[in-house]
Amino acid sequence: RSVVGYLKSFCVAGSVAVLQANSCSGFAQLKNGAPSVAKEIRINGAGTQDAKVAYRSMHVDIEEYGVSVPVAMWFPLEKSVANDKVDGATPLTNPKVTYNHDISVRRIGELLAGWKFIPTFAKKSFQLSPTLPYGSVVSGEGLKNNLPSSGPVVYLAHGYLGSRFDLSHLAEELAQQGFICISPEYPESLSASYQRFEGLDRERITSQIVDDLSCKWNIQATARGIVGHSLGCGTVISTGDDSWARVCLAGFTRRFDGTPVPGNVLFLSSMNDGTISFSKFGGKAAIPSDVVQLEETELSELAEIPPRSTVVFDRPDAPNHISFLSEGVNDAMIDFLSPLLPVAEALQIPVLDFDKYKASRDSKATADVVIPLVCNYLRQQML
C-alpha cells in the first residue's frame, strides 16, 4: 500500500469519531466538559529551566492480538517529589535519561516498497538524549508516587514510519509547562516493536490508552489535546470530541477529498514539504475562509492564537516534511539510513523528505518557531 494510500485512508475519514471508553474511564465525563478535579501534582517553576520533567517507558496491552504496544510518557515533576528518597536515593541522583529508539530496515522496506525478504535483524538501536538541558529530564521509574493523579493530557501521534520519540522535544517542553504527554508507537512505526495485524490500528491503540489512563494508571485528565505529524494528523481529526484541543504538523486544512477539517485546530504546513505537497491541496487559496492565516513573521507578536488557524511556512529555507521532528530522531535516521538513500532514489522509493533533511539539518531551527507556538496554543485551549 502506498504512502499516499495510507494518508488518504486516514485523512478522508468522515466526521470526528468519539472514542468509546468503559465505565472506569474519565473520557465519558469529558463529553460535557472537563471534570473539576484539583491537580495533585504541583508544578515548580513550570515553563522555566528549573522545572523538572519525568520520563517513563510504559506499554498498553491489546489482549485480543496478544500485543504489547510501547508508550512514552512525560509528566511534570514537583520539586519536593524529585527530592523524595526511594531506596536511599533520589530521582536526581543519576539524572541521565535516554530514549531507547530502534530503526528497522525490514519495516521500512515492507511499508515503502512491499519487501518482505529483509531479515528481522537488519535494525539498529539508538540511545537518544533528551532535548532539554542535562538533568532537566529525569527517570520517573523509581518515584514513590510515580505518576501524577491528574492534569491536562496531550496525546502525540507520529507519522508514517515515525516513532514514539518523533515529538519528544515538544513533549519535554509541554511537561515543563504542566502537561502530561503520552506518545504510543503505532503499527506504521519504523521501530517494529511488535507484529502488525489486520484490525490492530491507530484507533484501537488510542482507545486502549484512553481507557488505561484512568483504569490502570489512575490519571484523571482535566483536559485533553492531541498533536499529530503527517499521517498522525488523520489520528488528530478522528480522535475525541469537540472538547479536545488539536494541532496538525505537516497537515492541511482540507482532507484529500477537499472537505474542510472541522473544529478548532492549529495547522502548520510548509511550501517546502515534498511529501504532503501543499500545492496538491490547492495552495493557500484552498484554505477555508473561517481559518485565520497567521504570518510567520508576526507569531512573536500574537497576544492570542485564533482557535482555528494555520501557519504556512513560505520561504526558501522553509521546513521540509521531517523538519518538525526532534533532532535526535532525525540524526539517528541520517546515521543509519544514509547509505541506503542512493538505492531508494534509484528504485524511486519515496524517502519522505529524508534527502532534503540530510542537507538542511533544520530540526532545531524549526523547533524554535514551532514549539513555542504549539505550547501557547495548547495552554490557551486547555488550561
Residue 282: pLDDT band with limits 50, 70, 90: confident
When pLDDT is averaged across residues 119-137 and rounded to a whole number, the result is 94
Lowest mean pLDDT: which of 5-9, 41-45, 148-152, 341-345?
Answer: 41-45
Task: Supply the pLDDT for residue 84.
Answer: 54
Give the predicted TM-score (pTM) of the model: 0.88
At residue 153, the pLDDT reads 98
pLDDT tens digits, one per residue of 314-348: 999 999 999 999 999 999 999 999 999 999 999 99
**How high is the mean pLDDT of the chain?**
86
In 3D space, the residue among 93, 99, 84 whose CA is nearest the CA of residue 132 turns out to be 99
* pLDDT score at 188: 97
pLDDT of 199 above 80 = yes
Please say if the pLDDT value at position 52 is more than 70. Answer: yes
Closest CA to 140 of 193, 86, 185, 68: 86
Mean pLDDT, range 74-102, rounded to an integer:
68
pLDDT at 83: 55
d(CA 306, CA 296): 14
Region 79-94: mean pLDDT is: 51
Indicate whether 296 pLDDT > 80.
yes
> In this predicted structure, what is the pLDDT of residue 68?
98
- What is the model's pLDDT at position 90? 52
Domains of the chain, first to last: 55-381 (3.40.50.1820)
